[in-house]
Structure 1
């Protein structure tokens, strides 16, 4: 990066990260002060300050009053999670995908979900139940609540042709979320769906996402017997 190119706080942030990653600045090293960086990048000190504050919040550098800014000795290690599109997951396994929308209506959030999906009691929600298939065999059973205050267009799209999962990934950007993994025992409905005995253990996940302060969706996914989740980081 040339000096002329580094004129926004994001560009300065990225350049500082590059120098740290390439070990131009080692863990524990003190980096140039704001005045020197502002002169190098030909920008105001406030621009440099914004970049360094972002990096301090992320744990990449540490800042102390009158002591300057140093490269963090033990920076945090974070993995980036991408919400999978079930259709793409099924097709990547060489199977044929389809989905079936079993139920779609408007209802309030159940009381037991108050901690997991933080919307007001009178918030309009769309509730859906969907089965995702692989080669005409049930693959995932999905139960979803979607906040129309956050994604009003969700109320009108035709879910017969595209699943709620795929539509939301494409149309509802999110800034944060929570994900949990657990086992459930098949009740009568799940036993019939997957053609298994009642009480058999199934792998399940729950995921909620939000944009800024607005909850977007809460979904429970219950996977077919023998499902194994794999990820890379």
Structure 2
């Protein structure tokens, strides 16, 4: 009786084990089938182009990098072209401005055989037409110019004391000189303005002063100004 019960129990255990093994086997088989289906589905989708393979992703990444580099290069080249275009455009625009204002009389001495009044301080200058070393304005843009001179004496007024200079306009390679006299007798200051037409390399300067020490007798705010009114377009 004991033996039969033991055998029966062993038989039940074996049957349970077999059922468990069969169940596990079926479950594993089901998982394998599902994995195979999923794998097959991915392969089909990859072939259809719906899912990217790792190789495709790497290729797309490289393509994107190349496109970004090309875009940066194109933008850089475009910026250089714009910069060069602006420079060329500016060079084509003719210069139509020339102006200067100087003060503080500095010296009165000869430059190439001509005595000229020079100044020590530049208040304003557009371009390089006025030479501080020689006190000479040299025309670089033909046109109509305006010039003005203000001379202020130092110290108290004295009877019959006069300070005078002349504005010289000299044509390039010509001897004729147009002169405007600037003189004061009873006033401490005097001003003179004139308008004239200048060609390229014509010069304007202050000279023919009454003595070599003229600059010493002038206040520092004595000034000389010139600017282009209207350029010659022809």
Q: TM-score, normalised by structure 2?
A: 0.19
Higher relative contact order (CA 8 A, sep 6+): 2
Report which of the two has the higher share of strand. 2
Q: TM-score, normalised by structure 1?
A: 0.19
